Chains A and B, each alone.
Chain A
Amino acid sequence: MNRTVSNRIDRRFAALKAQGRTALIPYITAGDPAPAHTVDFMHACVEAGADVIELGVPFSDPMADGPVIQKACERALKHGTRLQHVLEMVAEFRQRDDDTPVVLMGYLNPIERMGYDVFTRQAQASGVDGVLVVDMPPEEAGDNAALFAEHGLQSIFLLAPTTSDARAKAICEHGEGYLYYVSLKGVTGAATLDADAVGEQLAKLRRVTELPLCVGFGIRDGATAAAIGRVADGVIVGSALVGRIAERADDPASIPAALKSILGEMREALDREAAH
């Protein structure tokens, strides 16, 4: 795979490693609660210490997501947010931030419908760095992974607690940027998290890959972030943020401060943990 050092994701993880820090990766759904706010939210995340932003592309049938992110998709879609608009949001974000990696996360059909050539060209032009397509595992990625790489888009893949050793090895070989380890069985926003069990799984994965291992599902506050930060290279926080956006959907002006508050708490907890 074409892994260039110029990619923002690789650069960011190299820098974090040198500093001995853990990546903080917020997920927000683009267009939620309305498209006009998304770029502001992205900047707020960065100001609160985000290292990578996962920007959700809303989809009508988010099969791997729990109710919190389903509702975020519904709010975004009600305002007509489509993949095309999400790419425009990234381009706007890039006018002020040329440094923070942006990963698009979502489902395959919007990309399929836009066309892979058009998508990769526009995503590259907009300043997207990685693509995580939930329902496109490596064996279905086919030529798309190569096409993505040609346009400087890294393919981020998921790993689950149920992934067999053989599959994990294959996924690690195809993965770029970082690996997204799903810490729980279930959908996004599901319940509790066992940091020790996650640690054991990650230790196994480290034997087959040098990619940064980031953990998502079940991280909701400073304490859970710190616990996972002890064993992972990055923590991904989605439903906890999206839930706060939902609570303030009628007062979007208050959302950046709310995002900063929870992300700031996580950043501090992660850095405190790293300093130990």
Chain B
Amino acid sequence: MKLTVNGVAHDVDVEEDMPLLWVLRDELKIDGPKYGCGVAACGACTVHVDGVAVRSCQTFLGDVDGPVTTMEGLGNPDEMHAVQAAWLTHQVAQCGYCQGGQMMQAAELLANNSAPTDEDIDDAMSGNLCRCGTYPRIRAAVKTAAKSLQEG
């Protein structure tokens, strides 16, 4: 099956019902998306399919109908996405395991809503669990990222 991830086309020979998460991690060796729950309850595996944030642990490969973007495609240490830069500025992470999913979710939010309110942030981000409890900084970082995107 054909799959485009972060602009690179792949051909994978796996079951159609294999969740995208495991295709990314175990077949394509792309480790940004994390396994946390397997049932779309934590958001650590969040990636974009055609720009939409999805839980890759509950997205079957056969249902992927557009290009996939992971944290690796959003930005990198030398060229950070505004969301990643804001996460660094606020030093949001503790263990950091959920933060890739948090940032993918935040990037989607900001692509659709350039000035989210606290309520917008809660609505968009509450599917992403952080067991370390970094929520206050996540809210602050989303706002900082929104501002820097607005300023271009």
A binds B: no
Interface residues of B (CB under 8 A from A): none
Interface residues of A (CB under 8 A from B): none
